[in-house]
Chains A and B, each alone.
Chain A
Amino acid sequence: MFEAILVMALGAIVLGAALGYAAVRFRVEGDPLVEKIDAILPQTQCGQCGFPGCKPYAQAIAKGEADINCCPPGGDEGIHKLADLLGREFKSLSAEHGIEKPKSVAVIDEQRCIGCTLCIQACPVDAIVGAAKQMHTIVADQCTGCELCLPPCPVDCISMQPIGESVETWKWKYPVFKIAPAQREAA
């Protein structure tokens, strides 16, 4: 009886020590779940979800504080991926956070720009170049299409232009064939 208790206690101590050591030695820095969610989010940094960027939204999803259907730029595909990752049910995009739009870039009308730098301060990815009282311009390759530069502009000289399809970005379509009724030979 006493021996059995001793053996069990000894086992518990040894395993406890091993687990304790492993917890310290193989500690995971950061939250891997947040990283995984962040990798799915489109990195538009638009704040339409109500959080100041994609990472904070990812953190909120990981903590269960936010739903998975608050990201309009990610669209239905993004929600599907999040649902798969988190083992939740798919939900359609929440209407209060906006609608999915075609990918666009901001364009500054350079004739009307007064050089106030307000859009530069608003841009989350530093994609606008310019200085005070100098014309500003947008680096189209780095623009995420977040639309955050639109409200601060005092002269409304920024517009969003959808990115069209070019020969380089064209994609082969899913092979779908029209179903046509078979032509019958006249008897």
Chain B
Amino acid sequence: MNAVQRLFGFHGGVKPAYNKEASTGLPIAVAPTPTLLVIPLHQSIGGVPRPLVKAGDRVLKGQRIGGADGNVSSAVHASTSGSVVAVEMRLMPHTSGLSALCVVIEPDGCDEWIPRQPFDFRSATPTQTRDYLRDAGVVGLGGAVFPSYLKLNPGKTGKLDTLVLNGAECEPFITCDDLLMRERAETIIKGTLIMREMLSAGQVLIGIEDNKPEAIAAMEVAAQAANQAAGDSSIKVVSVPTRYPAGGAKQLMRVLTGIEVPHGKRSTDYGLQCFNVGTAYAIYEAIALGQPLISRIVTVAGNVERARNYEVLLGTPMRDLVALCGPRADSDRVIMGGPMMGLRMPSDEVPVVKAANCVLVGSKQLFPPPPPEMPCIRCGECAKACPADLQPFEMYWFSRAKIFGKAQEYNLFDCIECGCCAYVCPSRIPLVDYYRFAKSEIWAREVEKEAADVARERYEFRLLREEREKQEKAAKLAAKTAAGREKAAAALAEVEKPAVTPEQDAKKALIAAAMERAREQKAQAHPENTINLTPEQQAEVEAIEARRAEIREMAKPHLRQDD
């Protein structure tokens, strides 16, 4: 058997009530296809994908409906076959309660797939494989939804020491990874082998919290089989102590390898990369089966009669999913994610997206409203609990006082928003809310500053351009005048001998040339209505001219008087 893996610890952490038993009793069920699928185009970190379909189009299951836009972006696909009802703004599964562009699909019930072909990643270049995974919409399914193709890059050295697979699932209530590992361990290992090959990684460490013995056993069996097939023991399933947030990428890497990735560095610089088990499963489906990411396992738990895990088509309204589990009458909210890091949804109509690992139904009884916030007493409990080794109280003071520069100096952006500090705070300060506020303010300022820099640059360029155009115009005019003068002088010189100074001569010649031109123009200009006249018209014209002459004669004495 395996030698005992040496484990390391991470700083801080808490032990909240896990509440996982309720949803692990039943196997994963396939959620029924809803009557209407609302698929948001923006489901990952990075650029908003461009819509590739329009209302009225028929789409097949797995057809790309949103194309990745920019360097960091990931495609989205139709979850089933049907017709596109609309591409319009719909309420997003986001705390803001704002809407964004979604593709609304009415399923036709056929569930007809696009032609599916395995992708031969061994004969493709790494870039081709990454582009394929980008277009297959594979993103990190642990909750951060970072496009996976960007992480499947071994970095400068071209190989990694360790691929870490994250099955810790430390957040209370959530059991989607647990059930996935219990039921589909073999597929996860197959996906892991693909990732390992892409990253040229030496060993694979699969970290699972020790409160999931069934998942550990299932993964052990699958890992042993893979090890035997390869004739080595490079895939190890490691049971890690249950402590929130052991499932944080940096925390799990530290527990398994003892390596702490410092501020501003990437884990690949230290020969490490970390993926969620669900992501490994999605990568296998995309590469070996040719199926893009169109569904995910979602835990429905909390204030429901029958908590369970479902395999849900992306775009299914959370309300439909919750209805399957029998929500209790006093339910008043839906949370996407767990109780520690989850986000309260503006409504239960919002669709399930790639980030939704859990739909947690809440009530006033289950999650009582937070007691009033008291002043910070500087006890330091938050710093003891912080798994990122930060000083939460310092960040809190500066965020509260809106001194964002100082908050950043205390490495606000290394905060993973796990909520341990707020959990232990005796003054019940919602610390994470302050950090989120400060982070979004800093981001907004950064964007504003960039826009101002661009505007300044463009304005300065415009001034420069105007100045340059003015000079060019002046130079052109000067050249033209000089050329004209020379020409005229030359013409004059041919006609007569120069008797005066050349300058006067040029001037004279200019005047003469101008007068000549005027004469020519005058000679050429005929009033067009006086040519080709009939004799009668001619006679009429003459009569009118005579009358005019007469009138002029008559007017003369008056004009003189006026003078």
A residues engaging B (CB < 8 A)?
38, 41-45, 53-55, 124-127, 142, 144, 165-175, 177, 179
Task: For the complex, give the distance between the alpha carbons of A144 and B452 in Å.
Answer: 8
Besides A55-B459, A172-B436, 13 other A-B contacts (C-beta < 8 A): A38-B456, A43-B452, A43-B455, A124-B459, A124-B462, A125-B458, A125-B462, A127-B458, A165-B98, A167-B92, A167-B98, A171-B440, A177-B373
B94 contacts partner chain A, Cβ-Cβ < 8 Å: yes
Task: For the complex, give the distance between the alpha carbons of A167 and B45 in Å.
Answer: 12
Asked if B456 and A43 sit within 8 Å, CB to CB, the answer is: yes
Task: For the complex, give the distance between the alpha carbons of A126 and B48 in Å.
Answer: 26
B542 contacts partner chain A, Cβ-Cβ < 8 Å: no
- Size of the chain B interface, CB-CB below 8 angstroms: 35
- Distance (whole angstroms) from the CB of B407 to the closest CB of chain A: 13
Chain A, Cβ-Cβ closest to B370: A177
B376 contacts partner chain A, Cβ-Cβ < 8 Å: no
Asked if B456 and A54 sit within 8 Å, CB to CB, the answer is: yes
A-B pairs with CB below 8 Å: how many?
A: 74
B residues 433-462 with Cβ under 8 Å of A?
Answer: 433-434, 436-437, 439-441, 444, 447-448, 451-456, 458-462
CB-CB < 8 A to B98: which residues of A? 165-167, 170
Task: For the complex, give the distance between the alpha carbons of A184 and B94 in Å.
Answer: 36
Show 30 A/B contacts (Cβ-Cβ < 8 Å), sorted by A: A42-B448, A42-B452, A43-B452, A43-B453, A43-B455, A43-B456, A53-B463, A54-B456, A54-B459, A55-B459, A124-B459, A125-B458, A125-B462, A126-B458, A126-B461, A126-B462, A142-B454, A142-B455, A167-B98, A167-B99, A167-B100, A169-B444, A170-B94, A170-B96, A171-B441, A172-B433, A172-B436, A175-B430, A177-B372, A179-B372
Select which of B48, B96, B370, B373 is within 8 A of A165 by beta carbon: B96
- Distance (whole angstroms) from the CB of B51 to the closest CB of chain A: 16
With known contacts A44-B455, A125-B455, A175-B430, A168–B437 Cβ distance under 8 A: no
Asked if A172 and B439 sit within 8 Å, CB to CB, the answer is: yes
Chain A, Cβ-Cβ closest to B443: A171
Asked if B96 and A142 sit within 8 Å, CB to CB, the answer is: no
B182 contacts partner chain A, Cβ-Cβ < 8 Å: no
**Most chain B CB within a 10 A radius of its CB, from A54, A165, A172:** A172
CB-CB < 8 A to B441: which residues of A? 171
Task: For the complex, give the distance between the alpha carbons of A127 and B459 in Å.
Answer: 10
CB-CB < 8 A to B373: which residues of A? 177
- Distance (whole angstroms) from the CB of A72 to the closest CB of chain B: 15
B residues engaging A (CB < 8 A)?
42, 48, 92, 94-96, 98-100, 370, 372-373, 430, 433-434, 436-437, 439-441, 444, 447-448, 451-456, 458-463
Asked if A167 and B96 sit within 8 Å, CB to CB, the answer is: yes
**Most chain A CB within a 10 A radius of its CB, from B96, B440, B459:** B459
Chain B, Cβ-Cβ closest to A41: B452
Query: Interface on chain B toward A: helix, strand, loop, or mixed SS?
Result: helix
Task: For the complex, give the distance between the alpha carbons of A34 and B453 in Å.
Answer: 15
Chain A, Cβ-Cβ closest to B434: A175
CB-CB < 8 A to B100: which residues of A? 166-167
- Distance (whole angstroms) from the CB of B203 to the closest CB of chain A: 39
Query: Interface on chain A toward B: helix, strand, loop, or mixed SS?
Result: loop
- 8 A-B pairs closest in CB distance: A43-B452, A43-B455, A170-B96, A175-B433, A171-B440, A172-B436, A125-B458, A172-B437
Asked if A45 and B433 sit within 8 Å, CB to CB, the answer is: no
**Most chain A CB within a 10 A radius of its CB, from B98, B436, B448:** B98
CB-CB < 8 A to A125: which residues of B? 455, 458-459, 462
Task: For the complex, give the distance between the alpha carbons of A50 and B463 in Å.
Answer: 18
CB-CB < 8 A to A54: which residues of B? 456, 459
CB-CB < 8 A to A169: which residues of B? 444, 447
CB-CB < 8 A to B463: which residues of A? 53
Chain A, Cβ-Cβ closest to B461: A126
Asked if A173 and B459 sit within 8 Å, CB to CB, the answer is: no
- Distance (whole angstroms) from the CB of A37 to the closest CB of chain B: 12
Chain A, Cβ-Cβ closest to B47: A168
Task: For the complex, give the distance between the alpha carbons of A142 and B441 in Å.
Answer: 22
Task: For the complex, give the distance between the alpha carbons of A142 and B455 in Å.
Answer: 7
- Distance (whole angstroms) from the CB of A56 to the closest CB of chain B: 11
- Distance (whole angstroms) from the CB of A122 to the closest CB of chain B: 11
Task: For the complex, give the distance between the alpha carbons of A123 and B363 in Å.
Answer: 55
Asked if A168 and B48 sit within 8 Å, CB to CB, the answer is: yes
- Distance (whole angstroms) from the CB of A59 to the closest CB of chain B: 14
Task: For the complex, give the distance between the alpha carbons of A142 and B458 in Å.
Answer: 9
CB-CB < 8 A to A177: which residues of B? 370, 372-373
Task: For the complex, give the distance between the alpha carbons of A54 and B42 in Å.
Answer: 37
Chain B, Cβ-Cβ closest to A38: B456
**Most chain B CB within a 10 A radius of its CB, from A44, A126, A173, A175:** A175
- Distance (whole angstroms) from the CB of B47 to the closest CB of chain A: 10
CB-CB < 8 A to A53: which residues of B? 459, 463
CB-CB < 8 A to B433: which residues of A? 172, 175
CB-CB < 8 A to B460: which residues of A? 55
Task: For the complex, give the distance between the alpha carbons of A152 and B63 in Å.
Answer: 49
Task: For the complex, give the distance between the alpha carbons of A165 and B98 in Å.
Answer: 8
- Distance (whole angstroms) from the CB of B382 to the closest CB of chain A: 15
Task: For the complex, give the distance between the alpha carbons of A104 and B493 in Å.
Answer: 66
Asked if A167 and B459 sit within 8 Å, CB to CB, the answer is: no
Asked if A167 and B94 sit within 8 Å, CB to CB, the answer is: yes
CB-CB < 8 A to A175: which residues of B? 430, 433-434, 437
- Distance (whole angstroms) from the CB of A146 to the closest CB of chain B: 9
CB-CB < 8 A to A41: which residues of B? 452
- Distance (whole angstroms) from the CB of B416 to the closest CB of chain A: 16
Asked if B455 and A144 sit within 8 Å, CB to CB, the answer is: yes
- Distance (whole angstroms) from the CB of A179 to the closest CB of chain B: 8
Task: For the complex, give the distance between the alpha carbons of A167 and B441 in Å.
Answer: 14
**Most chain B CB within a 10 A radius of its CB, from A38, A44, A45, A55:** A45
Chain B, Cβ-Cβ closest to A175: B433
- Distance (whole angstroms) from the CB of B529 to the closest CB of chain A: 32
CB-CB < 8 A to B48: which residues of A? 168
- Distance (whole angstroms) from the CB of B356 to the closest CB of chain A: 15
Asked if B459 and A174 sit within 8 Å, CB to CB, the answer is: no
Task: For the complex, give the distance between the alpha carbons of A127 and B440 in Å.
Answer: 28
